[in-house]
Structure 1
């Protein structure tokens, strides 16, 4: 098949990308070599014990695209278990605020109280979680752990609107929007949310919560508290957090694609990935290579058998993260690292406590039996 060394010599990608040990094989009906091999004992005579200097040499994070609500970055040089740990933390363990308690004084809309409360709870808020404490399970709400909103609307006919024959009546508050949530400062909150900090409100003020007809009204008090996505999705700071392995297409120089089939070959891949010259020569545009969907369409055609190898780079993760809360998209991954560090610190303290207990002398248990030190 294709020569990795030949491909590497003419490539703008790092030569290490063409190391077969880093490749996951993509075949017509299966994938191969999905497990990591860089651990002690796998390759005879090679020491692959973890080394910080070697890790720093191979590790890389690079932002590829950044917008107001999303970021795409490459995470290179880590095992899939680490990449997946960060993905799970992004979804479930970075704190945010969401409306948890809804006190209904009046609701004459067609939407039941429970359904409307659920819809309101899913509205993302712009409140920085670092300013708010967690509320204890049975604690009394305070200005340090609760943000209060008021939702009070009545649908009415707009009597000042010009009347046009055959035109529908114009209504006031026909739609209940997330922007209708009014922040009610509690305690010292007025002095906290001043200056550079935005006033507590939904991040998107155009989310439709309900629709009203004349005479219908809604009157609610809403309490937002701090929580985690693992308890309920409304506390998740992201709309999506996903990754995929970087695609790699290796052409076989010993069996080139026939010129009269070049355009058919190019159509087997995502647009822009395969370039065709005037002479019908095939080349891979490595700037667009990350856009390849790996549909395996090329493997369906017998005329292209042996012309190309489809691979993915096992430790090159393309992350896509969309923010739907108070965090800027570029701040989410550093937050996941902070959470990971806290987890590691907790494990270390627990291990040190176990070792300390293990050193304690054994003594008789409550029933006279001898108990071992530690748990």
Structure 2
């Protein structure tokens, strides 16, 4: 497989004028310091790792903690780039962790001149390091929570060359126009949210039917939240990540507009910080916003707020599932996930008049949460068990 084959999504992104996002985002990741704390925790994870006579599964990211812990009962698990808050839990359960800052940096350097694909030597050196790592760990399977950026595609390329199966768990929605941009296009298996996504992945040639497994929404928790909206509603804005200054500033403008509408209606407003956002930078642009959430879990914020509003966050889906009023803001500078077309969220244009009318309707208790359509987003009460079953099938088929 030629390097440009599996990295060809970059050219597609460039055609769509989105290309620089991948490079600048990766550069931003590589510039995050590999702190002494992370280094020490990675070392501790190796010391306390509980080794089993079973296959090694490498998981990129730690979002699926319940599934990771379940897999850990039988398999040797290594988690790449877990969030710092998750590392202690992983280590206490005997799970090894590894930070990939060096690979991120080298990959960003290999594409430093974005439109020039001539740094093959540096790229091949990174791929060789990844190859050495996967083979050194005797990896039997790689699972991605998202496979759209350079590092994930590099790991996928090496895994394929070593006949190591790969699985992508659906992270968000997708684009039909350019199939190879999407999660699950290059990996061997795609675990999806529901029938709607499976049918369209087949229809648009993103993945083959026998390689797609419907296992449901992976972030679901079975907490039943009651809808109890009073006239004193509270609004939560979901921050979004971008390394494009224009897009980032536009997101801040939207937050400021929502906050201004809330002030006019005497509604409490809070800006929930995306893990990739810089709070100080936000405060520079959002001087009138007084409340921010950066330490609470998503479910804690759902408990505290009634209306959850965002641009293209998958948390909009979770808001509806958790019986909250979910709103998708529409802005031409952002690619819309069009949750409103699936009945998952209300649609609201980015103007004060529309938003004012919507919040006023909420205050009068005339707006209710949307009801999730299982055809789109399947709520699987047995997600972890089904996930384990499908993973075992993949490993047993090797």
**TM-score scaled to structure 2, two decimals?**
0.20
Relative contact order: is structure 1 or structure 2 higher (C-alpha 8 Å, sep ≥ 6)? 1
Structure with the higher helix share, 1 or 2? 2
Structure with the higher strand share, 1 or 2? 1
**TM-score scaled to structure 1, two decimals?**
0.21
